[in-house]
């Protein structure tokens, strides 16, 4: 990876470690402000506000406070008893806890994150929620430490936009999914009319804006990675021409490794 890519990834790790520490110290997650490093304390576009009261009631308070997502992938993924789920960039563990409850004791929920402080927070939250069928792994979403064909459903909440190598992430998702496996992902997605520069002008990379793919790039990337029945549905606008979105698809064949453009966002790594 380029130096810029490495630097950007380290900036992401540092900012989300800070965010986990804020929750550990009794505060709310966020990069000095609201969630996913968006501006404002009670921002309805990001974080725990995107979960209904019933789901929030199933969670320890710290897990809800740690929510930094831009959607609610556990709802869109339609999880079933006995399934194995993988959450990419599991943060404070909110979606792993909810998934573990959905798939029940016969199922398993993995959380994968690169930030030690987030993994520690997630472990604590899962323990507090009484979850026994969750495993948190340290690693990169571009290099998933799980065998091929081992997962039924991949979920992720506002993380893929942060990756500096999105083709690698989509290829890895396809590799770990069993044939017929599916994705239910929440992410920030740009309208096709916005250039990479336009996106960088609307927000930072760590704030989940500058690194967002466009709808067309997401669709092409998933198709190239071996997915069918692809849908990218905008749910709520988070900046001019940028949306919280639900991405669904089914793995039907092996990846052709043909990629989508690697987005190297302009140097906009500043938080919030």
Ligand X SMILES: C[S@@+](CC[C@H](N)C(=O)[O-])C[C@H]1O[C@@H](n2cnc3c(N)ncnc32)[C@H](O)[C@@H]1O
Read out DSSP for 141-170?
TTB-SS-TT-EEEEEEES-GGG-S-HHHHH
d(CA 57, CA 170): 33
Q: Which one, 90 or 133, has the nearer CB to ligand X?
A: 90
51, 43 Cβ separation under 8 angstroms: no
Question: Are the CB atoms for 116 and 57 separated by under 8 Å?
Answer: no
**How do 108-113 and 177-190 pair as beta strands?**
unpaired
Cβ 203 to ligand X shortest distance, Å = 13
- Helix (H) and strand (E) counts for the chain? 9, 8
> Residue 51 interacts with ligand X (CB under 6 A)?
no
Residue 224 binds ligand X, judged by CB under 6 A: no
**Choice between 142 and 152, CB closer to ligand X:** 142
Which residue number has the CB closest to ligand X?
Answer: 91
Q: Which stretch binds ligand X (CB under 6 A): 156-164, 175-183, 187-195, 238-246?
A: 156-164
Binding mask 65-104 for ligand X (x = CB under 6 A): --xxx-------------------xxxx-xx---------
Instruction: Give yes or no for residue 162 binding ligand X (CB under 6 A).
Output: yes
Output 26 or 180, the one with its CB closest to ligand X. Answer: 26
Report d(CA 233, CA 230) in Å as an integer.
10
For ligand X, the binding residues (CB under 6 A) are 12, 16, 36, 67-69, 89-92, 94-95, 113-115, 118, 140-142, 157-159, 162-163, 208
């Amino acid at each position: 990876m380029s130096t810029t890519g490495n630097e950007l990834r380290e900036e992401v790790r540092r900012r989300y470690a800070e965010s986990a520490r804020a929750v550990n110290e009794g505060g709310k997650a966020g990069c000095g402000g609201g969630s996913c490093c968006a501006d404002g304390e009670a921002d309805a576009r990001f974080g725990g506000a995107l979960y209904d009261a019933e789901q929030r009631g199933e969670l320890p308070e710290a897990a809800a406070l740690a929510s930094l997502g831009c959607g609610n992938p556990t709802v869109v993924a339609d999880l079933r008893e006995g399934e194995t789920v993988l959450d990419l960039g599991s943060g404070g563990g909110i979606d792993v806890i909810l998934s573990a409850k959905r798939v029940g004791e016969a199922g398993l929920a993995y959380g994968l994150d690169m930030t030690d402080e987030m993994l520690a927070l997630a472990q604590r939250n899962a323990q507090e929620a009484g979850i026994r069928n969750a495993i948190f792994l340290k690693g990169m979403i571009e290099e998933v430490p799980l065998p091929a064909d081992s997962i039924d459903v991949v979920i992720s909440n506002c993380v893929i936009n942060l990756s500096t190598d999105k083709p690698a992430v989509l290829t890895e998702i396809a590799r770990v999914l069993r044939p017929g496996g599916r994705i239910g992902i929440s992410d920030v997605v740009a309208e096709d009319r916005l250039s990479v520069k336009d996106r960088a002008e609307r927000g930072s990379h760590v704030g989940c804006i500058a690194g967002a793919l466009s709808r067309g790039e997401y669709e092409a990337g998933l198709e190239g990675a071996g997915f069918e029945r692809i849908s990218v549905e905008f749910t709520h606008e988070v900046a001019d021409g940028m949306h919280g979105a639900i991405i669904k698809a089914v793995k039907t064949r092996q990846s052709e490794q043909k990629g989508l453009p690697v987005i190297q966002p302009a140097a906009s790594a500043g938080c919030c």
